[in-house]
C-alpha cells in the first residue's frame, strides 16, 4: 500500500497526479478500512487491518504527505522538513508496529515503542534522501545556506569541502535517529527484530 501510494507522486505518472487523485486514494482507504477492498493490494491491507490492531490514521497521514509533495519540495528548516518526513516516512514505522508486535518482555511504554518506530521511518527516509540528492532536494534550505551551498550547487553534483561538511552533519543527524532505534530494538517482538 505504501509503495503504491508513494508511486502516485514519485512514479512514472506523477506529472498527471492531482489533489483529486489523492482524494480518491483517501476515499479508497476508507473503503479498505471498512472491509470493502477494490483490488488484491487493498484486500491484503484490509486483511491486515482485520487481523492486527492497526490504526488507520498513519495511512491517512501518508496521503497527506503525498499532498505536500504536490505542493512543494523545498523546506526552509529542519522542523518543516521533519513534519514532511513524519507524513511520508514516519507513518510507515507507525503502521508497522501493530504487525511486528511488541515484546511480551518489554517494560517500555507503548508510546515509546511508537516513537522509536517513527524514528526508524525518519532515519530511513533521511538516508534515502541523502542517497538520491540531486534528483530531489529535500534538505533544510537554511542548513545548506549555513554551509554556503545553494540548490544549484546540489544539482551540479560537484563534491566540495563545503558539501562534505554539510553531508557529514546530515549523516550525524541520521545516526541519532538510528541510535535511538538500536537502543530500543529489544522492545519489539523477537520474531520481528531481524526485519528492522
- What backbone phi and psi angles, to 5 degrees, belong to 75? -130, 135
CATH 1.10.600.10 fits 72-193, yes or no: yes
Q: How far apart are CA 85 and CA 125, in angstroms?
A: 7
Q: What's the rounded mean pLDDT across residues 26-42?
A: 95
Grid coordinates belonging to 70 = 504536490
pLDDT band, very low/low/confident/very high, at 72 (cuts 50, 70, 90): confident
User: Can you give the pLDDT at residue 194?
Assistant: 67
pLDDT (tens digit, 9 = 90+) per residue, 145-178? 999 999 899 888 889 999 999 999 999 999 998 9
Q: Is the pLDDT of residue 45 over 80?
A: yes
Q: How far apart are CA 132 and CA 126, in angstroms?
A: 10
- Sign, CA torsion 177/183/187/192: positive
Residue count of the chain, please give it. 196
User: Can you give the pLDDT at residue 135?
Assistant: 67
Q: What's the rounded mean pLDDT across residues 27-47?
A: 95
Q: How far apart are CA 115 and CA 187, in angstroms?
A: 12
User: Can you give the pLDDT at residue 49?
Assistant: 94
Between these two residues, 186 and 145, which has the higher pLDDT value?
Answer: 145
pLDDT (tens digit, 9 = 90+) per residue, 89-127? 999 999 999 998 888 888 888 888 888 889 888 998 888
User: Among candidates 53, 55, 64, which has minimal Cα distance to 26?
Assistant: 64
**Domain residue ranges of the chain, discontinuous segments joined by +:** 1-52, 72-193
Q: How far apart are CA 104 and CA 187, in angstroms?
A: 8
Q: What's the rounded mean pLDDT across residues 67-73?
A: 86
DSSP conformational letter for 186: G
Between these two residues, 133 and 175, which has the higher pLDDT value?
Answer: 175
Residue with cell 505518472: 13
pLDDT (tens digit, 9 = 90+) per residue, 6-15? 888 888 888 8
Amino acid at each position: 500500500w505504501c509503495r503504491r501510494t508513494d508511486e502516485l507522486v514519485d512514479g512514472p505518472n506523477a506529472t498527471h497526479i492531482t489533489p483529486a487523485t489523492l482524494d480518491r486514494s483517501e476515499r479508497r482507504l476508507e473503503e479498505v478500512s471498512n472491509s470493502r477492498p477494490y483490488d488484491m493490494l487493498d484486500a491484503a491491507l484490509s486483511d491486515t487491518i482485520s487481523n492486527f490492531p492497526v490504526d488507520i490514521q498513519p495511512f491517512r497521514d501518508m496521503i497527506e504527505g503525498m499532498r505536500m509533495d504536490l505542493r512543494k519540495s523545498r523546506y526552509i528548516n529542519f522542523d518543516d522538513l521533519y513534519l514532511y518526513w513524519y507524513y511520508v516516512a514516519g507513518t510507515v514505522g507507525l503502521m508497522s508496529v501493530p504487525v511486528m508486535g511488541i515484546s511480551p518482555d518489554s517494560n517500555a511504554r507503548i508510546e515509546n515503542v511508537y516513537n522509536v518506530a517513527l524514528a526508524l521511518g525518519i532515519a530511513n527516509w533521511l538516508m534515502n534522501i541523502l542517497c538520491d540528492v540531486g534528483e530531489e532536494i529535500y534538505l533544510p534550505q537554511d542548513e545548506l545556506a549555513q554551509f554556503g551551498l545553494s540548490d544549484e550547487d546540489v544539482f551540479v553534483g560537484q563534491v566540495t569541502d563545503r558539501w562534505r561538511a554539510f553531508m557529514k552533519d546530515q549523516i550525524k543527524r541520521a545516526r541519532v535517529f538510528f541510535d535511538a532505534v538500536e537502543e530500543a530494538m529489544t522492545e519489539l517482538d523477537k520474531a520481528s527484530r531481524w526485519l528492522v
